[in-house]
Structure 1
Amino acid sequence: MLSIKNLTCLTFCFTLVACASMGIGSKMEKQQEILTMKDNVLTQLFANKPDTRAQINAAPGYAVFSNANVNLILIAAGTGYGVVKDMKTRKYIYMNMAEGGIGLGLGVKDYRIVIVFHTNEAMNNFVNTGWTFGGNADASAKSGNKGTSVEGELYYGDVTVYTFTENGLALQATIKGTKFWKDSELN
């Protein structure tokens, strides 16, 4: 049975997480907003890690996501949106993401994820299956160009994942699962 305190925390968590949705607008407006986010994130990644430009250009595909995450004591949740680009066909696949987990932490952060697929199989598996599981430990305190955060670069077989905080204040260590799926409205 949920106590009033736990129910309040869950309601607050899901309310904040809902803010990461695409909001209102036509299909084309939403697609353009995602592509603009992708371009901005890649510009930032290339400025901080110039070698990633060649890595992405040589890859069969890549994905870029914007995510908002909330962690309240023992519960973590987040949601976001993004796009996968198939470099061979030059086509975009618009996707959503959601994550949930447990662990110690407190904070809210807005972060970006760039995923580089080193094989077509890895990209197709991601687009068609989309699950990832893993631990997460980070500390961030950032607003615009001010503040600091611990950035990540991870390798999972045929995939390289880059993460960086856009804004937020968080200290967390969680075990979480993330689900990525095709956006039926935008594809």
Structure 2
Amino acid sequence: MKNLLAILSATLIFVSSLTMAGVAEDRAEYDKSANETIAKFKQEKPDISAKIASGVGYAVFSNVGVNLFVISAGGGTGIAVDNATGKKTYMKMGEAGVGFGLGVKDFRALMIFKTRKAFDKFVESGWLFGAQADAAGTSGDKGGSAEVEGAIGDVDIYQLTEAGLSLQATIKGTKFWQDGDLN
């Protein structure tokens, strides 16, 4: 019986360490993506560092969106960072919308929160609604895109297209939620 308990304990410790290693790897991947995205925003918009620093917090997301005539959908992952504490909240996102559109694109979003209320609401309930219009035709460093930057309440939103071909004008809702496995 003692041997069985020892084997069971060793197995649980081993499985737990594998799970923790997987979580650490996933967090590192989210962190790497966020850092690369912020570096790209800094290249495109030199004043973005000051804007991030002046906010209560910010969120960085990688997203893939699909537009098929009147329906759009997308999903992605990201991190929300509280500037006061440095705490990272690992998150996922999904979006759906209606309007004119056709195409697929891989893009990055940066949201800067101007107030504590806006940041906390985003991390806890994570809904954003708005309109979007853009045209993109990019692959690597070739091509170009034109996205509308904007603000929803106390949140400034910026977007960069990584790759894709799309033309869209949509009204959509986006749900952000905490990644239960990584937080």
TM-score range, shorter chain: 0.7 to 0.9
Q: CA deviation at 1:98?
A: 0.2
Aligned to 1:79: 75
In the alignment, the residues of structure 1 paired with residue 126 and residue 145 of structure 2 have an alpha-carbon distance, to the nearest angstrom, of 26
Match of 1:168 among 152, 164, 167: 164
In structure 1, the residue corresponding to 2:117 is in which secondary structure? helix
Match of 1:121 among 89, 94, 117: 117
Aligned to 2:35: 39
Identity of aligned residues (%): 48
Q: How does the TM-score come out when normalised to structure 2?
A: 0.86
In structure 2, the residue corresponding to 1:134 is in which secondary structure? strand
Q: CA deviation at 1:119?
A: 1.3
Aligned to 1:180: 176
In the alignment, the residues of structure 2 paired with residue 179 and residue 33 of structure 1 have an alpha-carbon distance, to the nearest angstrom, of 21
CA RMSD of aligned residues (A): 1.2
In the alignment, the residues of structure 2 paired with residue 44 and residue 151 of structure 1 have an alpha-carbon distance, to the nearest angstrom, of 15
Matched, 1:135 2:131: yes
Deviation per CA, 1:65-103: give whole Å up to 9, x if none: 000001112211100000001111111000110001122
Unaligned runs of 5+ residues in structure 1 are 1-24
Unaligned runs of 5+ residues in structure 2 are 1-20
Q: CA deviation at 1:58?
A: 2.1
Matched, 1:49 2:37: no
Runs of 4+ in 1 over 4 A off after TM superposition: none
Aligned to 1:22: none
Alignment: residue pair count: 163
Q: How does the TM-score come out when normalised to structure 1?
A: 0.84
Q: CA deviation at 1:159?
A: 1.3
**Structure whose alpha-carbon radius of gyration is higher:** 2
